[in-house]
Amino acid sequence: MKINKKVEEILNKQVNAEFWSAYLYLSMSAWCESQGLKGSANWMRVQFHEETSHALKIQDYVLSRSGEIKLQPINAVETSWNNLLHLFEETYKHECVVTEMINKCYEVALSEKDYATAIMLQWFIDEQTEEESNALEIIDHLKLLGDKGAGIYHLDRSLEKRKFTDETAE
């Protein structure tokens, strides 16, 4: 059955939001690089790839339901932050906004009785819980460390280990 128009519309918005997220994390990665925070730059670069994969997962889903994708301009993003703690606090806030958007998509899918879309979105609901908790964990570390000194260096080094694996492919 061809995708419902209201569902198609909100999923198009979500594709845009996921690319907007990717763009934000790419900007954050560039800022980290400019601050000599190579591990954090890597973490943000992986996040950029994850967000791109999220956009593509939704786009491919809409197309698989014979829907249309009309890519829209991507909103501007911040380009600098006060410090690493500020950066991860903004990451957390951003993920909370995305969680609200995903929840809205889910509500529209249910109200339109589009259960296939609701099932597809469950993956994103789980993902958002994980994304929020990843950012919070780093914020907790940074608060303990006080955002300076050797502790920051070691935290930054630990973020260098993160690697991108396309979880949407599972």
Residue nearest to ligand FEO (CB): 54
Separation of alpha carbons 145 and 153, rounded Å: 10
Identity of the residue, 78 or 154, whose beta carbon is nearer to ligand FEO in the bound complex: 78
What separation in angstroms does the CA of 78 have from each of 59, 127, 145, 154?
25, 24, 25, 26
Name the residues that contact ligand FEO, by CB under 6 A.
18, 21, 51, 54, 95, 98, 131
Q: Among 17, 18, 25, 58, which Cα is nearest to 134's?
A: 25
Question: What is the nearest approach in angstroms of ligand FEO to the Cβ of residue 127?
Answer: 6
Question: What is the nearest approach in angstroms of ligand FEO to the Cβ of residue 85?
Answer: 19
- Compute how many other C-beta atoms are within 10 angstroms of the C-beta atom of residue 65: 18
Question: What is the nearest approach in angstroms of ligand FEO to the Cβ of residue 51?
Answer: 5
Identity of the residue, 98 or 142, whose beta carbon is nearer to ligand FEO in the bound complex: 98
Question: What is the nearest approach in angstroms of ligand FEO to the Cβ of residue 52?
Answer: 9
> What amino acid is encoded at 47 in this protein?
Q
